Chains A and B, each alone.
Chain A
Amino acid sequence: MAMAQRTGVSVAMVGSGGAGVLTTGAMLLQAACAAGWNGLLTRSVGPQIRGGEAAALLRLATHPVECLADHVDLLVGIDWVSAQRFESEIELAPGGLIVSDPGAGPPPPALSPSGARFIELRLSEMTKANPAWRANMIALGAAAQLLGLDERDLAGVIRLHFEAKGADVVAASVAAAQAGGRAMTEATGELRLARPAQANGKRWLITGNEATGLGALRGGVRFAAAYPITPASEILEWLAPNLPEVGGSLVQAEDELASINMIIGASYGGVPALTATSGPGLSLMVEALGLATAAEIPIVVVDVMRGGPSTGIPTKSEQSDLNIAVYGMHGDAPHLVIAPQSVTDCLLATQWATFLAETLQTPAIVLSDQSLGQTQAAVSRPADLAFIGERLRATDFATPYLRYALGGSGVSPMAIPGTAGGQYTADGLTHTERGIPTSSAREHRAQLDKRREKIERYAYGALWATLEGEGDAAVITWGSLTGVAREAVARARADGHRVRLIAPRLLLPTRADEMAAALDGVKRLLVVEQTHSAQFHRFLRAHYTLPQETSVFHRPGPLPIRPGEIYRQLTAGASP
C-alpha cells in the first residue's frame, strides 16, 4: 500500500522503573540515527532510584530537530503501573497509536484520549512463553517495525548493547525484538518515516552534559572539582575518565564550597578549571564567585538548572536560576553568564565561556538546564573552534609587580606561582594595583571600574546572540527554549507571518547596542521563558528598551514549553 511517508514522528515509551524504558529509548534512537535519521531522546523520571516511573520521549525526523514535538504519535506502554504521572507530559496526537499489553490493563484515561487507536502487544504472554525474552526488547522491536526501521540496524544496536553479557543474551534480545516486530505486521504503515537524506560527514550521538564536558576540554580546562548533584553529575562523570587522558585531573570535593574554592586554587596555579552543579550548589558557590571576580581568577561554573527554589524538582528542567546567576553576588561583581541554546551548543557555549573566562580573567557561569543536559541527540560533529583559553601572563616584572595594574583593556598580566619576581597576594579584600588591601575610595572605584570595563569593552562578536529572520514581530527567549521558539517561528513563517527570533547566548555583560540593533523595527515582541516570576522579562526590562507592545509567555517547570504553545501566542490576533 502506498502511503505518504512522514518526515517526523514522536514516540513515548513508559514503564515502571527497572522495566528498561530508558535503555529501550536509547537503543531505538541509536538504531534510527545509525540508519541516518535525526532525533533526540529526553527522559522523564521520578525521584526514585529504582522502582519509580520512567518515560523515554523520542522524536525522530528526516530533518534536524532541537526539541520535543507538541504531541506523541506513538505511545508504547511496557506497563502502566505509574503512567498516570506522565499525563501532563505526554499528549497523544489525535488518532495516535497506543501499543499496549492487554495483560497490563488499560492505560490511564488521560493518556488515552477518545480517538486513540490501540494495537495489542501481548508482552506478558510472550515473556511467559519465552523466559529469556525481556518485555522491553519486544516493545523495542514493535516500535522499530512501526517506524519502518531496518531489522538489521536494530539487531546491530542490540548486539552492541548486550555483547558484554554474552551471545545468549544477544540472541534472546534479537529474537524478542523480531517477535515484537512480527506482532505489528497488521498495523498500517502510517508511522513509517521517509528515508533520511544522506548525512554529510560524521555524526555523533551526544547528551548536552557530555557536550558540556567536551566543550570544557576543547576550551582548555584541565582541572575539575566535583560535588555530585542532579542533573549535572554526568558532566563531571564524563570529565573524570577523560581529563586524565589529556593530562588533567578531577577531584571529588566534600561540598560545593570546596569544589569552587578548589577550582579557584587550581586556576590561580595557572590551570584552566571548571566545576558543574545545579541550583542548590550554585547558591553555595556564590560567595566564592565574588572572590574570583575580585581577585580576577578565571573559572567556569556550569549550572544545569532544575526546578527551584530549594531542593525543588531535581530531575526536571526550569530556567529559574537566571536571577542568581546574574545578580547573586554581593557587591558590584561583573562577570560572565553564558547560556547554551541546544545540545550541541552546550559544547560551543562551554568552550566559549572557558575562552572568555581565561581571556578576561573573570568567572563565567554557564547556564544550561536539565532539558539540554540530559537530552541525547544525533548531531553533526561539532566543528573545532579557535577558542582555546589562554590568559595574559606576566613574565617581565617591573618593581614592584602590579598584578592589578590599571589602564589598557583592563585585563592586567597575571603572574603564575613559580614565576620569579611575580609574587603577589590574590585577595578578596579591596586592593591596590599591587594587590595590597585598602579601603581607599579612590582605589576601590578604580578597581571596580577596571573589572567592569574589561568585560564591557571586549568585542564578543556574533556569538553573543542568535538572530534570525526579518519582520516587525519577534520572539525573544534564551537557553533551551531557543530551539522550541525556532520551530514555532518557522511554523508562523509558513503561515505567512514575518517573525524574528532573538536569543542572547551572552546574558552578561549585557549588550545594549547589539540588542537595540536586533530589536530595531520590532513592533511586537513576545518574551518566552520557563520561570514562574518572568525573570527573563524583568532582566530584559532592566537592561534593554523593549517595544511598547511586549507580551510575556512564561510558565515554571517541570512541564516543557512546546513549539505549538509559542506558535499560538505568536499568531493570536496577528494577521499574516
Chain B
Amino acid sequence: MNATAPLACKPGDYKSQIKPIWCPGCGDYHVLMALTRALAALGLPPERIAVISGIGCSSRIPAYTNCYGFHGVHGRSLPLAAGLKIVRPDLTVIVASGDGDGYSIGGNHFLHACRRNVDLTYLVMDNHIYGMTKGQPSPTTEPDFDTALTPGGTGVRPFNPLVIALASGANFVARAYAGNPRETADIIVSAVRHPGFSFVEILSPCVTYRPDQRAWKERVHTAPVEATDDAARAARRLMTDDGFNLGVLFRGDRHPFQPAAAVARADRADLEKGFEI
C-alpha cells in the first residue's frame, strides 16, 4: 500500500480513551498515530491484535490503543510476545519498546528474537535517552552527551541496532521517523505483513531531554535505494549510511518459527504407558 491508499477502517477505531502521559511534542504521539493508521489500513479487528511492551515512555503505548495489551516488566516484552504468538498464531502481535528497554536491559532478548524469527513486529521508539527516569544515556546515546549520571558523557560509542538485527537474523529491517506518521504507517503495514520477525527502528524525538533532536526533521531522508534481500549488502549500507536513511532496508525470506499447530495426536494415557513396569 502507499500513503494515499484509502484505509479499510478508521485509525480512531484503534485508539483508546486514555490520555497519554507523554510530554507535549513527544515523538511517541506520532508513533501512536502511525500505529493506529497502520492497523486501520490492515483492517484487522482490534480484538485480534495484541500490543506488548516493557517499561519506559514508549512502552506506555498499549493502553493508548483499543487492542489487547500487555505492559510488562522492563526489557522483557519480546519473550512475553513470543510466548503469546507461539500459542496464539491467529493473533497479530506487535511489540513496542524504546532504546533503553529494547537495547539495554532487553538486549539479549533482541538478539534471540531476531534469531528465533517468531512472526512479530517490533517497533522501537529510539530517542537516544531514558526519558521516564529523566535523562540518562542509553545504548544509542552519543558518547559526549552530558547527563547527570554521566557527567561529560559516557565516552562509550553507541551501537547500531539495525546492523545487530541483521547479524542476528531479523527477517525485515526498516527505519522510520516519527515525524512522518504516514510513511511510518506504511512501513508498519509492510512489517506486519512480512512473515517472521520484523524490526522497525523509529526515530522518535524526546523534546524534553533531547531538544537537539528537533533537528532530526531536517536530517531524515528516504533511503536512496530499494530494500535488498541480501543481509550482507544491507549491513554494509547501514554501517556506512548517516543513520537517517528511512524506509524498508532489508526483507529476508526465512521461515518464521512456529511450533506445530495445537492438535492432539495422542491420548494422554498413551504417554503414560512409558512408565509402566
Binding site for B on A (CB under 8 A): 30, 33-34, 202-206, 210, 214, 217-218, 222-223, 225, 242, 244-251, 253-255, 257-259, 261-271, 273, 287-288, 290-291, 295, 378, 381, 415, 417-429, 435-437
Contacts and interface: CB of A to CB of B under 8 A. Distances in A.
Nearest to A253: B79
Contacts of A421: 47
A202 B112 CA distance: 45
Given A254-B112, A258-B109, A423-B68, A265 B262 contact: no
B84 interface: yes
Most buried by A among B72, B87, B259, B264: B87
A257 B90 CA distance: 25
Given A222-B87, A222-B262, A429 B79 contact: no
Given A249-B259, A269-B87, A421-B47, A437 B63 contact: yes
A368 B46 CA distance: 42
B86 to A, nearest CB: 6
A418 B48 contact: yes
Contacts of A427: 63, 70-71
Interface in B249-266: 259-260, 262-266
A47 B78 CA distance: 34
B271 interface: yes
- The 3 residue pairs across chains A and B that have the minimum distance between CB atoms: A265-B83, A425-B69, A262-B83
Interface string B66-105: 1111111101101111111111101100000000000000
B215 interface: no
Nearest to B62: A425
Contacts of B75: 257
Contact of B47 (A246, A266, A419, A429): A419
A264 B63 contact: no
A33 B277 contact: yes
A421 B48 CA distance: 11
A223 B87 contact: yes
B203 interface: no
Contacts of B148: none
Interface string B45-73: 11110111000000000110011111111
Contacts of B48: 417-418
Contact of B68 (A249, A263, A417): A417
A288 B52 contact: no
B263 A247 contact: yes
Contact of B271 (A242, A267, A268, A269): A242
Given A261-B76, A418-B88, A255 B71 contact: no
Given A222-B262, A249-B260, A266-B87, A426 B109 contact: no
B272 interface: yes
A88 B275 CA distance: 33
A271 B259 CA distance: 14
27 contacts: A204-B272, A218-B268, A222-B262, A245-B264, A245-B266, A246-B271, A249-B87, A251-B83, A254-B112, A257-B109, A258-B76, A259-B79, A261-B83, A265-B80, A265-B81, A266-B87, A267-B83, A268-B84, A288-B72, A381-B272, A381-B276, A417-B88, A421-B47, A422-B68, A423-B69, A426-B71, A437-B63
Given A262-B80, A428-B71, A271 B63 contact: no
A354 to B, nearest CB: 14
B150 interface: no
B225 interface: no
Contacts of A30: 277
A265 B71 CA distance: 11
Contacts of B85: 265
Contacts of A246: 264-266, 268, 271
A269 B266 CA distance: 24
| Interface majority SS (helix, strand, loop, mixed), chain A | mixed
Interface in B83-135: 83-88, 90-91, 108-109, 111-112
Contacts of A290: 73
B149 interface: no
B72 A254 contact: no
Contacts of B262: 222, 247-249
A244 B73 CA distance: 29
B265 A245 contact: yes
A269 B87 CA distance: 7
Contact of B83 (A273, A378, A435): A273
B5 interface: no
Nearest to B52: A265
Nearest to B81: A265
B67 A261 contact: no
B275 A291 contact: no
Contacts of B69: 423-426
B259 A251 contact: yes
Contacts of B78: 258
A106 to B, nearest CB: 37
A425 B70 contact: yes
A287 B277 contact: no
Contacts of A259: 79
Given A247-B263, A417-B47, A257 B87 contact: no
Contacts of A257: 75-76, 79, 108-109
A179 B277 CA distance: 26
A248 B87 CA distance: 8
Given A249-B259, A265-B70, 12 more contacts: A244-B259, A251-B259, A262-B79, A262-B80, A267-B83, A273-B83, A381-B275, A417-B47, A417-B68, A418-B91, A422-B47, A427-B70
Contacts of B72: 261, 264, 288, 291, 295, 426, 428
B268 to A, nearest CB: 6
A263 B83 contact: yes
B71 A423 contact: no
A417 B79 CA distance: 17
A220 to B, nearest CB: 11
A513 B69 CA distance: 40
Nearest to A250: B259
Contacts of B81: 265
A254 B108 contact: yes
Contacts of B260: 244, 249
B73 to A, nearest CB: 5
Contacts of A295: 70, 72
Contact of B80 (A33, A264, A419, A420): A264
A485 to B, nearest CB: 27
B79 A258 contact: yes
Contact of B90 (A265, A418, A436): A418
Interface string B13-44: 00000100000000000000000000000000
Contacts of A258: 76, 78-79, 82, 108-109, 112
A34 B88 contact: no
A417 B277 contact: no
A353 to B, nearest CB: 18
B180 to A, nearest CB: 27
B47 A265 contact: no
A417 B50 contact: yes
A246 B18 CA distance: 41
B48 to A, nearest CB: 6
B71 A425 contact: yes
A265 B264 contact: no
A436 B47 contact: no
